[in-house]
Amino acid sequence: MSLPQIIILGAGLGGTIAAYEIRDAVKGKADVTVVNDQEDYWFIPSNPWVAVRWREPEAIKVHLPPIMKKKGIGFTAVGAKKVHPQENRLELNDGTSLHYDYLVIATGPELAFDEIEGLGPDGHTVSVCKTDHATAAADAFERFCADPKPIVVGAVQGASCYGPAYEFALILDTELKRRKIRDKVPMTFVTAEPYIGHLGLDGVGDTKGLLESELRDRHIKWICNNRITGIEDGMMHCEELAEDGSVKATHDLPFGYSMLLPAFRGIDAVMGVEGLVNPRGFILADKHQRNPTFKNVYSLGVCVAIPPVGPTPVPVGVPKTGFMIESMVTAIAQNLKLELAGKEPSEEATWNAVCLADFGDGGVAFVAQPQIPPRNLNWSSSGKWVHMAKVGFEKYFLHKVRRGKSEPFYEKLAMHALGIRKLRFK
């Protein structure tokens, strides 16, 4: 008899690790196949470094097919056209279909650049959301440095990923100082957050104070509760909202270089599937990471629907950070193991967050347990050690991906010693 089929849709940070961990958890009990839209894994957290040429793209790339084959995991880079959960079927871009017993959706988001006129690589701003975007941003930065003008960096209304915006603003500041042209470049940080350091999480520890201090010390002005109404070549039009949602002020910001993080939405393959996604196309999931309507569909990472932490004048989404995503992976792997043994899923991810934000010559780190308040632990710190820790983490995580390993035993022991776990105590 053929074994049950588990399909993992997506091979980014969450999907790749999920493939390794699920394969180890269900080995001999099910076959695992990964469906992705390309053959390579890219370490997205390093994209801000790529955009200033502190990293070459090849240095953060892992070619997946040979690793998946060695692990006994099926792999295709054809990509998915549509999920048909009523039929337990995944339609691929080449017209074929794969049938599954269990589906794990780990696609990440679609980048909604089109929601603001002039936004994105096809408009007038650069992006660090994908490595090819960051490579193009590096070329644009070189041209900018030959003719310095103002810079605007930040995140638009509805964005849910703020850390890289802060990282990139401060990395740019560091690089401009190294090139001795920082004095020629006024910088402004624009964000939908109600205050600096909110991060979509209502802050973690003293992120408000730490990040305000960093921006102030580096002469970077900021505008919060910011809504961008349009972007032209060299000019950004913004509205700053008051607490009641009314327009407090308007700003026309000239720029010679700008990077803005967009809002996210679900990918086309899941968009509009009733019972599977919310109106933005994010996957609905219960506390076991399982879809309430289609019980054999699990989801993890940025594609999961999570409500905002509270009302804000401008829409602010909730980020899904690396360790939080890895906790979802572990919960899904263990719940699939239970299901294949004829038991009900019972494992819950902690959604604990461990984050390192690098500024080139320092950085901010925070631990939130869990990521969504109220929390059992709410800690943040800053210093030059964060930059070194981020460099070390990049090398370590890429080593894990290349080895086909989700969590070496020494990582698990170290995290447990710090009281940071992936699964909730039962």
Neighbours of 321 (CB within 10 A): 24
- Known catalytic membership, residue 224: no
What pLDDT, on the 0 to 100 scale, is given for residue 413? 57
* Mean pLDDT of the 175-186 span: 98
* Among 161, 224, 238, 303, the one annotated catalytic: 161
Mean pLDDT, rounded, of the chain: 95
What pLDDT, on the 0 to 100 scale, is given for residue 333? 98
Q: Give the end-to-end CA distance of the chain in Å, rounded to a whole number.
A: 35
* Mean pLDDT of the 247-262 span: 98
What pLDDT, on the 0 to 100 scale, is given for residue 366? 86
- For 66-112, write each residue's pLDDT tens digit: 999 999 999 999 999 999 999 999 999 999 999 999 999 999 999 99
What pLDDT, on the 0 to 100 scale, is given for residue 15? 97
* Mean pLDDT of the 199-204 span: 94
pTM of the model: 0.95
- Known catalytic membership, residue 303: no
* Among 224, 238, 303, 355, the one annotated catalytic: 355
Domains and CATH numbers, the chain: 113-264 (3.50.50.60)
What pLDDT, on the 0 to 100 scale, is given for residue 31? 98
Paired tokens of 170: 């401060």
Q: How confident is the model at residue 154 (pLDDT cuts 50, 70, 90)?
A: very high
Q: How confident is the model at residue 426 (pLDDT cuts 50, 70, 90)?
A: low
What pLDDT, on the 0 to 100 scale, is given for residue 407? 74
* Mean pLDDT of the 220-238 span: 98
What pLDDT, on the 0 to 100 scale, is given for residue 371? 84
- For 323-361, write each residue's pLDDT tens digit: 899 999 999 999 999 999 999 999 999 998 888 889 988
- For 263-306, write each residue's pLDDT tens digit: 999 999 999 999 999 999 999 999 999 999 999 999 999 999 99
